Structure 1
Amino acid sequence: MKNYVLTTAAVLGLAVQPLMAETVEKTSTLNVEDAMDALENAVTNAGATVFARVDHAQGAVSIEQELPDAQLLIFGNPMIGTPVMQQDLRAGLVLPLHVLIYDNSGVTTIRFEDAGSLFEGLDVAPDAPFIERINGALNGLTNQATGG
């Protein structure tokens, strides 16, 4: 029983960790759909792979519920992600990267997790050069979705 409790606590602690990561927020002059299109194009043009585009609002409609427009883009590039996972395979729990774009009371908001805090709690060096590369990529890609 003791091992079960310790295992459960460890799993829950790791599962909650990404939710507490520091997030970066930007606004866009575009609507959610157009901002996500711009982000997806930027990701593809940068040579990264788009794994999924999740439309949370459409999911709500499918069960006859409502949510404001909200879409999540899941993407990655092994040139950036592999070095992280070489330090700690558990980084696969938070990789690939993801960006949420949503309607925040009429303001299109872009939100993503800062790479420095994204990997907290893992055996990833906080000063690893790839953290700056990931944050630079996220900032550059999301800037293209701001409409500015």
Structure 2
Amino acid sequence: MPRSLTNSAAALAFATSTLVLSAPASAMDGWIEKASPHSVEKTVMQLTAAIEKAGAKVFAVIDHQAGAKSVGLDMPATTLVLFGNPKIGTPIMQANPMAAHDLPIRVLVWSKDGQTQMAALAPETFKTRYGVDPAMKPLQMMQGAVGKFMDAAAQ
């Protein structure tokens, strides 16, 4: 491959990834977003309580701010909550095992300019990304659950 083509391809790839990675979640399709009037810590507490109350399982809570601090770096409060229900997620992964890449469900809770935000990959994204039948009941259940849990976290 000619060097100029390789450099052009690399430049295009870099520009594209920079654009995607630097764009706010609201600018990207496929996300459910919600602001919370509470701190990141309280929002995460309320989110995990709502998940557990509904009978789903919280698999992990990852405190990215603490991770950054452990290596001498600073970042705003940023926590990732991974949760799911095998009765809902398993049929989706059976339809396409690649869906396991985006399961269990993740809700990111972070502070930006003093405001707490939440974002999760919209379950409807599984339709296009993994070819999952949009009429599949577990997919519809997941859609309702994510919104319900984020609403509870923001109350």
TM-score (norm 1): 0.81
Which amino acid is the alignment partner of residue 43 of structure 1?
I
1:109 match: secondary structure:
strand
Aligned length: 130
* Structure 1 residue 127, shift from structure 2 partner: 3.4
Is it true that 1:59 corresponds to 2:67 in the alignment? yes
Paired with 1:30 and 1:107, the residues of 2 have a C-alpha distance of 8
Paired with 1:116 and 1:123, the residues of 2 have a C-alpha distance of 10
* Structure 1 residue 129, shift from structure 2 partner: 2.7
Gaps of 5+ in 1: 1-15
Aligned residue number for residue 133 of structure 1: 141
* Structure 1 residue 89, shift from structure 2 partner: 1.2
* Structure 1 residue 21, shift from structure 2 partner: 5.7
Aligned residue number for residue 78 of structure 1: 86
TM-score (norm 2): 0.78
Q: Considering only aligned residues, what root-mean-square deviation do their CA atoms show, in Å?
A: 1.8
The alignment-based identity, stated in percent, is: 33
The 3 A distance-change label for structure 1 pair 115 and 66 is same
Paired with 1:113 and 1:63, the residues of 2 have a C-alpha distance of 29
Write out per-residue CA displacement over residues 15-51 of structure 1, whole angstroms, 9 at most, x where no aligned residue: x9xx976111111111000000000111111111111
The 3 A distance-change label for structure 1 pair 52 and 119 is farther
1:115 match: secondary structure:
coil
Aligned residue number for residue 113 of structure 2: 105
Q: Is the 8 A contact 2:51 2:149 kept in 1?
A: yes
Q: Is the 8 A contact 1:21 1:118 kept in 2?
A: no
Gaps of 5+ in 2: 1-16, 18-24
The 3 A distance-change label for structure 1 pair 76 and 21 is farther
* Structure 1 residue 119, shift from structure 2 partner: 4.8
Among 102, 106, 122, the residue aligned to 1:94: 102
Aligned residue number for residue 143 of structure 1: 151
Flag the structure with larger Rg: 2
The 3 A distance-change label for structure 1 pair 72 and 65 is same
Paired with 1:41 and 1:121, the residues of 2 have a C-alpha distance of 30
Aligned residue number for residue 77 of structure 2: 69
Q: Is the 8 A contact 2:98 2:130 kept in 1?
A: yes
Q: Is the 8 A contact 2:118 2:150 kept in 1?
A: yes
